Amino acid sequence: MTVEPALVEALRPDAHERVPLVEVPPCVDLAFARDATGRSYLGRQYVGYPVHVGRALHVDGSAPDLCVVYLQSVSGGLFEHERLASRIEVGKGARAHIATPASTIVHAMQGGSTVQRTRLVVQPGALLEYMPAPLILFPGSHMVSDVDVTLAEGALVVVADSFLPHDPAGGQRSFARLESAMTVRDGNGQLLARERMCIDGENWLSGNAGANAGLRIHGSLWLLGGSADAELLQTLRALPELDGALAGASQLPNATGIVFRTLAADAVRLERIMYAAWVAARTHRTGSAPALRRR
């Protein structure tokens, strides 16, 4: 992976003080299991402010055993100085799809930050699709996102991670900073892959970063577990090109999986190409495309 000079500058300790990850109790703690008929269900649920957990659904026509749950913000977004944590576990052989009904706003800030830590634990033979809608980064916002995945043998995980900058006043004010980390470990805690991304908002919007080709909306789809085979990689790389969008896919170290990335000119193009990549991955892994209604 090539890191552009402007992004390297943003990573220097004297450029920005890194926000420490403070341990806080989870506001969401979900556990999925599989019953005797093979149907997955929400076996444990704890939720606190600012999240509402919707009713467990079985609405994917191609996977009737898949348990679908939507997480909804009741606070109107993420605010300065908030520290949120969540934990989602999928038991042996169970299958779950977690999403949000809409994007999450990261509100304007006055020099502070918001931190969101997500831990995903997926047991042997289980499937978890964790696919929140994109973050909307308001002017001055500083978002710190940390996702930690424990991937047991035979487990499959999909994680969507995307953002778009937005100035509600219609101007060109930028978000302050985005820090994002993805860590993947096996069932014994052994590190398989780790990536950190730090983006300076002014450089991103101005194009000085040089890495975004003027396309300001970013999406990643992490396809973890299974066989990181050349067939899926080539399928993702062969997805139809869209005007105003760029995309690519790479294998992760230690046969951890594949990461698919896209840059887009607008949210519609981002949604279309991320959806196409998800359909390709689900079809490849399970033999059938998802039949969930698109957001």
pLDDT in tens, 85-130: 999 999 999 999 999 999 999 999 999 999 999 999 999 999 999 9
Peptide bond between residue 50 and the one before it cis (omega within 30 degrees of 0) = yes
Contacts of 37 (CB under 8 A, 6+ apart): none
Q: What is the pLDDT of residue 19?
A: 58
Burial of 292 (0-12, 13-18, 19+ CB in 10 A): buried
Structure tokens at 34: 């599989």
Structure tokens at 79: 């605010």
Structure tokens at 139: 């002017």
Q: How confident is the model at residue 208 (pLDDT cuts 50, 70, 90)?
A: low
- Closest listed residue to residue 281, CA positions, set 158, 182, 183, 181: 158
Sign of CA dihedral 186, 188, 189, 191: negative
Digit-coded pLDDT (tens) for 220-247 = 999 999 765 889 999 999 999 999 999 9
Q: Are 247 and 260 in contact (CB under 8 A)?
A: yes
Query: What span, in angstroms and rounded, lies between the C-alpha atoms of 230 and 232?
Result: 6
Digit-coded pLDDT (tens) for 17-38 = 455 555 788 999 999 999 999 9
Q: Report CA-CA distances (Å) from 63 to 90, 126, 132, 291.
A: 16, 14, 20, 8
| Amino acid in the structure at residue 72 | Q
| Amino acid in the structure at residue 137 | L
